[in-house]
Chain A
Amino acid sequence: MTRLPLVLLALAVAVPIIAQEGHPLKGSWIGVWDSNTQHGNDLLMVLNWDGKTVTGIINPGTDNIKPDRVTLDPVGWKVHIEADAKDKQGAAIRYVIDAAIQQLEMTNRVMVGTWKSQRGSGKFEMRRQ
């Protein structure tokens, strides 16, 4: 976990924004899930679209949380993400994220919403890199 901010910083500096005109969720997203005491505020999510489902990973290399449900409702561009993880004590928790994509036309579009789990809740915001 302690390396994650450095990883995020390195990515933010080193990775140019890659144009992405395909599925709006596809790509690398960097942001925060505010007040998350279990997995830190900083968040990196990599999402992919295989034509039928969105798959991905949260905080690759550190937390390696794999969402088991990612949906996109194009009416309002609403995003719903669910993922199983473990808290600091090793107990199972389930994250539920509800957000909406804004600035859809931008390569560095944003996702804004909320997250919650058994250990808390807060603001969720990510920007595509």
Chain B
Amino acid sequence: MNTKPSSRTYTAGALGLALFLWGAAAWAHHSISGKFDTKAAKVDLSGVITSVDWRNPHAHIFMNVTNRGETLNWAVELESPSLLEMDGWNRDTLRPGETIVVKGPRARDGSRQVWGEEVRYASNQLPVFAPKVKLSHTPAVPRPTPTWPDGHPALGALPGTADGFWTDPSKTALVEDGVNVAMDPYGVLENLADAAKVAPMQPWALELYRYRQSRQLRDDPAYVNCKPPGGVRQYQSRLGIQFIEDRERKRIFVMMGSGNHNYRIIYLDGRKQVGLVGGDDDNPLYFGRSAGRWEGKTLVVDLVDFNEDFWFTQGGLPHTDKLHLIERFTRTDFDTLRYEVQVDDPGAYTRNWSASWTLKWNGGAALPSYFCQNNRP
């Protein structure tokens, strides 16, 4: 493959970029598996970078790939800049003129777009981008859970200590505890026949779930319409969450790295889960209405009043406005948060069911700032 780009290849690159941006509206923002065929054979590309587009919701590298004398410009799509930065990459890591090797699934529509699962320097084959890097600072021996003077565990950083946030969820889609089904990180089932095992769905909900799955989640409003990560979604993203405990006013702010600076408030002051008269009393919410209480070392949160304008989990399980969640947060040690949720939605499910997973503490790091843009791929 080429190592030195000519003016002709730059022209091809510019043309490719222009065509890509012109066609972006057709794809808009999307789920990864909806746009890229993650189950098909992966594409191997080697070529010269023509530009780097470091913007939300997904960064892109454009590269000229020469094959049998023909040079074509490809778009390599990557995670959001926030996630790339968590993996140690920044906007200056790669520059036009460098030669890279890329491997990943190609766009379903056959266009010259590839999801950059692996990006390596051509010169030494070292990875530029290594997704899902495990947090290196998690100690082998668990550190004790930090507590407030009254003995309650601190869900975030105690005053005067290093800040941090919760990330690396051990599960990234909602599945009933005890059920073992294979899914990709975005919640797409490896085998659609497993759909009925995921949760005890009513017939309409099961068929709707199958339909969404069969379309590889490409209709997910979290991407298509930038809907907030309500329900349990905020706990399923590597972009993480952060708890800000306002103990004086008995409320906990849950800040979300995965929303457009979205947050929700857990009230611990005993107030009723109703809206404000003349305000939002008849307006169900993306994040519901939260009432929390401590049960020993566990924060228990009761959540009602969800709207139906979003998917409450990755993977496309349906819900209705009857959704009632009971969340349990337990900081089992300094670096581990156990999240348990009971799903009670008689509008979509035949019985109550539960799921649980853990998140890891990323100490000393700021909560990422992710912005969805539904007019960009």
Q: Is the CB of B318 within 8 A of A22?
A: yes
Q: Which residues of B contact A19 (CB under 8 A)?
A: 221, 225, 227, 308-310
Known: A21-B310, A22-B347, A74-B203. A105 touches B318 (CB 8 A): no
Best-buried of B311, B319, B320, B348 by chain A (most CB within 10 Å): B320
The residues in A between 48 and 65 inclusive whose CB is less than 8 angstroms from any CB of B are 49-51
Contact (Cβ within 8 A) B221 A21: yes
Interface contact A104-B227, CB-CB below 8 Å: no
Interface contact A72-B309, CB-CB below 8 Å: no
Chain A at the B interface: SS class? loop
The smallest C-beta distance from B282 to any residue of chain A, in angstroms, reads 13
Q: Does residue A18 face the partner (Cβ distance < 8 Å to B)?
A: yes
The answer to whether the Cβ of B244 comes within 8 Å of any Cβ in the partner chain is: no
A23, B320: Cβ atoms closer than 8 Å: yes
B309 touches A20 (CB 8 A): yes
**Residue B211 at the A interface, CB < 8 A?**
yes
Q: Are A21 and B309 in contact (CB under 8 A)?
A: yes
Kindly identify, within residues 296 to 311 of chain B, every residue whose CB is under 8 Å from any CB belonging to chain A: 308-311
Contact of B211 with A22 in the complex, beta carbons under 8 Å: no
A: number of interface residues (CB 8 Å) = 17
Tell yes or no: B79 within 8 A of A by CB. Answer: no
Q: Of A26, A51, A74, which is within 8 A of B308 by CB? A: A26
**1/0 contact string of A58-83 vs chain B (CB within 8 Å):** 00000000000000101101000000
B117 within 8 A of partner (CB)? no
Minimum CB–CB distance from A71 to chain B (whole Å) comes to: 11
CA–CA, A77 to B205, complex, Å?
12
Q: Which residues of the other chain, B, contact A21 by a CB distance below 8 angstroms?
A: 221, 308-311, 318-319
Q: Would A22 and B215 be within 8 Å (CB), given that A51-B346, A51-B347, A74-B207 are in contact? A: no
Contact residues in B for A22 (Cβ distance below 8 Å): 308, 318-321, 347-348
Chain B residues whose CB sits within 8 angstroms of the CB of A104 once the complex forms: 208, 211
In the assembled complex, the Cα of A18 lies from the Cα of B309 at a distance in Å of 8
Of A20, A50, A72, A105, the contact of B204 (CB 8 Å cutoff): A72
Report 17 cross-chain contacts, Cβ distance below 8 Å, ordered by A residue.
A19-B309, A20-B308, A20-B309, A21-B308, A21-B309, A22-B319, A22-B348, A23-B204, A23-B348, A24-B204, A26-B308, A51-B320, A51-B322, A74-B203, A74-B206, A74-B207, A75-B207
Further pairs besides A23-B347, A77-B207, A105-B211: 14, Cβ < 8 Å = A21-B311, A22-B319, A49-B320, A50-B347, A51-B320, A51-B346, A51-B347, A72-B204, A74-B206, A74-B207, A74-B208, A75-B207, A105-B215, A105-B219
Residues on B close to A: CB < 8 A?
A: 203-204, 206-208, 211-212, 215, 219, 221, 225, 227, 308-311, 318-322, 346-348
